[in-house]
Amino acid sequence: MKEDIFDVLIYLFENYLDGDSDNYPDTDMIATELLDAGFHQPDVSKAFDWLESLAEADSISLTVSSSFRIFSSQEVAVFDLECRDFLMFLEHAGILTPANREIVIDRAMALKEEDITLDKLKWIVLMVLLSQPGDSAAFSRMEDIVYDLIPTSLH
């Protein structure tokens, strides 16, 4: 089975990041647990780097309250039309702010994958919202979307 950084991130989210406890084991213990679970050292290190960069990303602030996003050619190569539309849907629904949208795009691009699936994008949004203080309502709404508790489109 091919494991990658994204699988490590999902494991961390489900086992550590989504909890309410402030008493998490230290990074070395978590890394050892990840290695024992079968993840590879480079992926574990990259996942920790990804999360560290996410923690630093909260310094992004936009001075304009509304914005129009044009995706670069590199972003278009990673995000298909469905993913780009989903990001805009989340912003218009009030789940993502323009600043959070930029963090999501940055963290998705940091995965260095050729394309991001809609399911991966949903998880990235959820992780970004979890990292943002004061966005518990947006996080809760996004959690419902990730776990398919509410539809994201009308048929």
Amino acid, single-letter form, for residue 49: D
Largest CA distance in the chain: 47
* 1: three-class secondary structure by DSSP: coil
pLDDT over 50 (residue 2) = no
Has this prediction a pTM greater than 0.85?
no
- CA of residue 100 relative to chain centroid, distance: 10
Show the tokens assigned to 96.
């993502």
pLDDT of residue 28: 87
Mean per-residue pLDDT, 38-62: 82
Nearest to 9 by CA among 107, 118, 151, 75: 107
Share above pLDDT 90 across residues of the chain, in percent, rounded to a whole number: 35
pLDDT band at 139 (very low <50, low <70, confident <90, very high): confident
Mean per-residue pLDDT, 106-113: 90
Long-range contacts of the stretch 76-85 (C-beta < 8 A, 24+): 77/114, 77/115, 78/108, 78/109, 78/113, 78/114, 78/115, 78/116, 79/105, 79/108, 79/115, 79/116, 79/121, 80/115, 82/118, 83/116, 83/117, 83/118, 83/121
Show me where the domains of the chain are located: 1-59, 64-155
pLDDT of residue 77: 93
